[in-house]
Every structure is written in structure tokens, then in C-alpha cells.
Amino acid sequence: MSKQTVLITGGAGFIGSHLCKKLLNNGYKVICLDNFITGRRDNLAPFAKDSNFQLEICNVFGYIDIPGKIDYVLHSASLPSPKDYLNFPIQTLKVGSLGTHNALGVAKKKKAVFMLFSTSEVYGDPLEHPQKENYWGHVNPVGLRGCYDESKRFAEAITMAYHRVHKLNTKIARIFNTYGPGMRHNDGRVVPNFINQALTGRALTVYGNGRQTRSFCYIDDVVEGVLRLMLSKENFPVNLGNPNEFTMLQLVKLIIKLTGSKSRIVFKGLPQDDPRQRQPDIAKAKRLLGWKPAVSLEDGLKRTISWFRG
């Protein structure tokens, strides 16, 4: 029996590259699409010469033409870091709209299963806590974060349109804050920011009063959830994240403790539309996928800090 083939857009990114590695280890052929605007070739180095791995350099918001059989299309291409989507707002919108449309077209042509890597940002600054999949969100479409939030909301809408009109087998993973080895040092998200500042002796920057919350899921747990969703029968959105909620102050103090840093904490103004609370309700993932995170924040941070030191 021939190997199944998985096409991953944004496969050189943080989550995408971990997924490439896991799929190759699980016996799949993997085709990675990336234009390296934020993805890194270093992420692909461990398996770049694997005969079951193929790299295609392209923009997903341009035409995608991949010959041969494809069984799954996983659309992870995105600019999820605030630093990136604020620097590249138009590209962010194009990846979420045109890129999703093109990736769906490949899945339709190949009669493949399609999965969208969506985000907790579709909930915006939520008025419901914790956030269930049936919550519609509280998003400012014309704010600075709107380019990312609305690109993902549109991506979900067109994915469901293809499911309903073309009967495409679709999956939507709403991924909450994810961290781990392989993140860019200058990524701009809170975990690499704090770790880098702590390891280099700089002041750790906390925005607002530090009481806003997030829920951090280790990369291995997210990848496991994605694979289970890929193979499931579910077509509607599923939250993938760690339901344990931490304030920014709790996170920064834990990172200072684990790194042994002498850095001080400084406070700056809260960015526009920054969510006050973020916590996934993962009852659906538990019920349908038999999935829940296994790695605690402290254990995951220890592994991540070790990688950053290296």
C-alpha cells in the first residue's frame, strides 16, 4: 500500500515544521509549501534530505499547482505573531483569504481532506469565558489586530462554504497560544520574548498591569491534537489548547525562576484590542478526539528554555 501524502502550507513555520516531522515519523509523505517570509529553513534541516519530504517554495496566495496524489491539505500558512502581522498586514489578509481559497482549491481538485489552522483570535477580546466553539467572538474589524483576526474568521467561513457547497471533508483547528522549541528568537510572542530577555539579562517587558490571562499549550500536545483531528470525522471547529490559565505576571515570574535570571520586570502600555482573558473550553476535543494536553507549563518551559540556551 502506497504512503498517504500530506501537503502542508507554511510547513517551515513553528507549528508546521513540528507537524512535518511528526507526519514523516508516522509514515506519511510530506510536501511543504513556504515562501520563508517567517518560516525558517533551519526548521526543516532535520528531515530535509528524507526521501519522503518535498519542499516547494511558493506564495500560497498565488496559484498552487502540485502534481500527483494528495490525501490531506493542511493549511497552516499564516503570520500569527503580532510583530509579523502588524508589519505585514496586507500579506496576512491575503494568506487568510486568497491563500485559504487556493489551498481549498487544491483539496477540491485532489479530493483530499482539508484542515484549516485557525486560531483563538477568532474570539477576539472575549465576552465569554472560557471560550467554547459556539461562541461567535468579540472582534474589532478595523483595529490593528483586525488583519489577523478577520483573515482567520474569513478563512473559517470559506472553509465551511466549501464543505457545504462542494461537500469537501473539512476540519478547523482553533489553536490557542502554543510554545516550544523551534520558535524564532525574535518571534515577538510572549514566551520567546520573556525567555530571550531573561537569558540576556534585559528587563522583562509586561504590557498593561500583567493581569491579563493566556493559556499556553506545549507544541507536542498541539501536534497530537492536530493529527487526531485530521483523522477524525468532525467537520466543525475544535479548540486545541491548554485550559490552564495564567496571568502574564505568573508567566514572567515562572520564567525568571526557571532561567535563574536577575532581570527586573518593567511595565508598558497595553496594545490596542489586546485580549483580557483567553482560556479554551476543550470539552469537545476530549469527547471527539480523546485529546487533552499532557505537558505542564513548567515542564514545557524547561524544555523550551533549554532549547533557547542551545
Residue by residue, DSSP assigns 97-149 as IIIHHHHHHHHHHHT-EEEEEEEGGGGBS-SSSSBPTT---B--TTSTTHHHH
For residue 27, tell me if it sits in a domain. yes
The interaxial angle of helices 190-199 and 297-309, nearest 10 deg, is 50
For residue 304, tell me if it sits in a domain. no
Task: Retrieve residue 300's grid coordinates.
Answer: 514545557
Measured CA to CA, the distance from residue 51 to residue 34 in angstroms comes to 18
Which segments of 78-218 does DSSP mark as H helices, in order?
82-87, 89-94, 100-110, 146-166, 190-199
For residue 227, tell me if it sits in a domain. yes
Measured CA to CA, the distance from residue 103 to residue 216 in angstroms comes to 28
Better-predicted residue by pLDDT, 176 or 272 = 176
Measured CA to CA, the distance from residue 57 to residue 22 in angstroms comes to 21
| Arithmetic mean of pLDDT, 214-225 | 96
What's the pLDDT at 1?
61
For residue 122, tell me if it sits in a domain. yes
Task: List pLDDT tens digits, range 10-60.
Answer: 999 999 999 999 999 999 999 999 999 999 999 999 999 999 999 999 999
What's the pLDDT at 207?
86
Task: List pLDDT tens digits, range 149-196.
Answer: 999 999 999 999 999 999 999 999 999 999 999 998 888 888 999 999
- Give this prediction's pTM: 0.95
For residue 272, tell me if it sits in a domain. no
For residue 206, tell me if it sits in a domain. no
Domain, as residue range, for 105: 5-179+217-242+286-294
Measured CA to CA, the distance from residue 75 to residue 99 in angstroms comes to 8
What's the pLDDT at 185?
82
Measured CA to CA, the distance from residue 239 to residue 90 in angstroms comes to 27
Measured CA to CA, the distance from residue 3 to residue 303 in angstroms comes to 32
Task: Point out the residues that are catalytic.
Answer: 148
pLDDT at 270 over 80: no
Task: Retrieve residue 127's grid coordinates.
Answer: 465576552
Domain containing 71 — which CATH number? 3.40.50.720
Alpha-carbon distances of 109 from 72, 179, 268, rounded to whole Å? 12, 34, 49
For residue 247, tell me if it sits in a domain. no
| SS3 of residue 80 by DSSP | coil
Confidence of residue 136 (pLDDT cuts 50, 70, 90): very high
Per the prediction, the chain carries an average pLDDT of 94
Residue by residue, DSSP assigns 260-277 as T----EEEEPPPTT--S-
What's the pLDDT at 273?
66
Task: List pLDDT tens digits, range 52-90.
Answer: 999 999 999 888 889 999 999 999 999 988 888 889 999
What's the pLDDT at 271?
75
Number of separate domains in the chain? 1
For residue 68, tell me if it sits in a domain. yes
